[in-house]
Amino acid sequence: MSALNIKKGSTSHSAYDLRDSHSEVEESHTLAVIVENEPGVLARVIGLFSGRGYNIDSLTVAEVDHTGHRSRITVVTRGTPAVIDQIEAQLSRMVPVYEVHDLTAEGPSVQRELALIKVSGRGEPRIEALRLAEIFRASVVDSTLDSFVFEMTGTPAKIDAFAELMRPLGLKEIARTGVAAMSRGA
């Protein structure tokens, strides 16, 4: 119909040309956002997500460069490819935001989370909990005669699995840091 020699939708605006930006399937993406470490910057980023109706599955923030006043926010979000692209664009145009990396799209990355898990009990369940902790490479950071606090790091899925196993063995409390993530390679 058109004389224009172009396939509609063939030029994606992002670096991830292989992705189908028309897909309606929601994906989980991990974003690393490098921001100026200033009062209110976290509120600004969170406000963007709540104000525009985006999801936050996990969020961590800490200063990573004291002299340069840089903090790193790692946020795990869900959305269609178009929404993910929009989130990235909305973040990158914010004044105190220096860099935005979509670690999920940019290539392989490592994701780790730390959890503290309190399990109480005596007798066989207690021994079973300790045995499982060993398998999961969780270490005991506090112990009483009827409780343990395990510390473990791993992917969110690994922590989920461990917590699920602890549930019938006397799981009392769980504290998780949220995901820290980094791309693999140099």
Which residues of this chain interact with another protein, rule CB under 8 A? Answer: 1-6, 8-11, 13, 21-22, 36, 39-40, 43-44, 47, 51, 82, 85-86, 89-90, 92-93, 95-96, 98
Q: Closest approach of Cβ 25 to another protein, in Å? A: 16
Q: Closest approach of Cβ 14 to another protein, in Å? A: 9
Phi-psi region of 166 (alpha: psi -120 to 50; beta: other; left: phi over 0): alpha
User: Residue 92 is inside which H or E element, if any?
Assistant: helix 81-92
Which residue's CB is nearer to another protein, number 4 or number 145?
4
Q: Closest approach of Cβ 35 to another protein, in Å? A: 11
Q: Closest approach of Cβ 44 to another protein, in Å? A: 6
CA distance 28 to 22: 16
Contact criterion met (CB below 8 Å) for 79 and 26: yes
CA distance 185 to 166: 35
Which residue's CB is nearer to another protein, number 17 or number 142?
17
Which residue's CB is nearer to another protein, number 32 or number 97?
97
Which of 182, 124, 133, 140 minimizes the C-alpha distance to 162?
133
